[in-house]
Structure 1
Amino acid sequence: MRPFAYERADSAQDALALHDGDAFYLGGGTNLVDLMRLGVAEPRRLVDVTRLPYDAVEEEPDGGLVIGAAVRNSDLAANSAVRERFPMLAQAVLAGASGQIRNMATVGGNLLQRTRCPYFQDISKPCNKRQPGTGCPAIKGDHHNLAILGYSQECVATHPSDMAVALAALDARVRIRTHEGQRVVPLVGRGPEPLYRLPGSEPQHDTTLEPGELITGVEVSPLPMPSRYRKVRERASFAFALVSLAAALDVVDGTVQDSRIALGGVAHQPWRAWRIEDRLRGAPATEEAFIRAAEAELEAAKPLRDNTYKVRLARNLIVRTLTELTEAGRGGAGSTGTGRDGEERA
């Protein structure tokens, strides 16, 4: 590990001043420290931001939340407002990592964690995300758990976060502190430039953050409908998603009024399923309608040699979860609680 300087920021302004362009902000460090050990990240300076006043979950008058970037993942999942009003967010956090890691990890750090692509993490291999222009060996190599949507010939890596998938479905907005003040951007979106970006020709950039910009919090609007997070993985213990799904569904008299759908494990960023939402609005809440909507979304998928299975897996997960949410809305099966139900093996 290369020697580095360590600084502790006492304010956001202090943090921005300490960031010299070759520094990294340190939250929980659960991803950054691993990358430093692997030689993937070699910061000359770490700026500790864990003591900044962004460690609370604040309830808004309209029922929404402002989640501080320094909130620990375990505290977020245990928060009563999150569990009661946004169960898919609590479920997503609980489905990620281990209890020990959740106790250390922060919301801001979770959003900015890097991919677990094996080529990115192995400095003896070429990787466009780590060293632009060296190639993407995953395309012809080990890609069984990599992207099927939105990737480019430069990169087929997937975003590893569970929490970010739920926040994408919740239309979350990210507060960013800059030298000029504060700006707020959507986490993902079809409108103004969101936080996350697809790889395109510059896969080294996961987000639209400028050097030194600091995430201070996440805004979440009310969610007046049942929601659920489901995660399919290769084993029930600590593992990243093959495919995951954050879904919310509003059904009135058998007709879908609204829905929020986002997929994880399939793209460079949490994949907001806009086509599904557009197709379902005003459609009957039936398995047939759910199948058609899922297939319309997955028409854009371009699976590689060894991850074709993800298309069918995603389709089935979408249909099953939407069916369960429909039943939950009728008072039947399909709990929207925050137990371990989001954890499924392939």
Structure 2
Amino acid sequence: MKRFAAFITKEFYHILRDKRTLVILIGMPTVMIMLFGFAITNELKEARVAFFDHSNDPQTLAIQEKILASPYFSLSGQINSPAGIEDIFRDGQTKLVMVFESDFGQRLEKDGQANIQLIADATDPNTASTVVNYAQAIILDYTRNLIPQQSTPLINVQSQMRYNPELNGVYYFVPGLIAILLMLVSAMMTSISIAREKETGTMEVLLASPMKPAQIILAKVVPYVLLSFLDAVLILTLGKFVFGVPILGSLGLLLGVTLLFILLALSLGILISTVSPNQQTALLLSLMGLMLPTILLSGFIFPIENMPLPLQVISNIIPARWFIIAVKSIMLKGSGFLLLWKEILIMFGFILFFIAVSVRKFKIRLE
């Protein structure tokens, strides 16, 4: 046991002496949570809108004021001719142009209806769809307040956003960011660490020591378990107190699921190290085999339901998918173990599979 503890201490010293590793382990979580929280967002704020007003009457001016009073839009400019629409879109900043027809106010008062054309820059389809929907909602609200008896629909639709009423993008990113960082720290760093021992020839020296091979591997991954867990706690703390991401479910269950995913990532890192003859190969396998699928196929950025059927099937073997589902359910919905047993069982199955394959591959290399 003393040898085992001494080996773990040696690994900690090795990590602490490597400044590049410290930057990845400590600096990366803080930088990424701040980056995703403040800079990378799918929320719409102050989209630039321009107006082409043929009528220029009190009604059109009131609608323009209501549009600009919302936090979603800011004024790009006024357009005086049809050719100006193309010109203002070319600068790449304007997202929406609102065109009011002639005699807008008179038509609205006389006929009870008037026409507004919304022209959006669809080079970014998601943003274009969002700005049009927001503008339509604001115009509809203005019309209802102006002529309530004519604007009341036959079917009254009331919408409610559960679990994220303000549609904060950071609520969506934090669970996925935990998965990305744990894969980066646990799997990639572990695979590189073990591959480095083999590349430098020190693994054979370690295997010749009185410690068993399983103890050597375990001693090398224990520091990364602790550091990965600290990284996860750091992200959860920043998400909670800096960005206000709620934790509605059990904190113990959340930390337990996080620890389970750390073990899963470590087992995957060990598997990569057993088939990698050097650090470069381990790094390449980690980036191409772990990071890209985790980002693209786990549901972190792109909804799995919108993917082609073959990619939806492939996403089932991406471990981060099940972790992200579990973390979102615990944090945002307050789900308990009885609702998440399937995801937990799948992650546990991944751990057993990766360890079994790693042991087999490791034994083959030693023969």
Category of TM-score, reference length = shorter chain: under 0.3
Query: Which has the larger share of strand?
Result: 1
* TM-score under structure 1 length normalisation: 0.23
Query: Which has the larger share of helix?
Result: 2
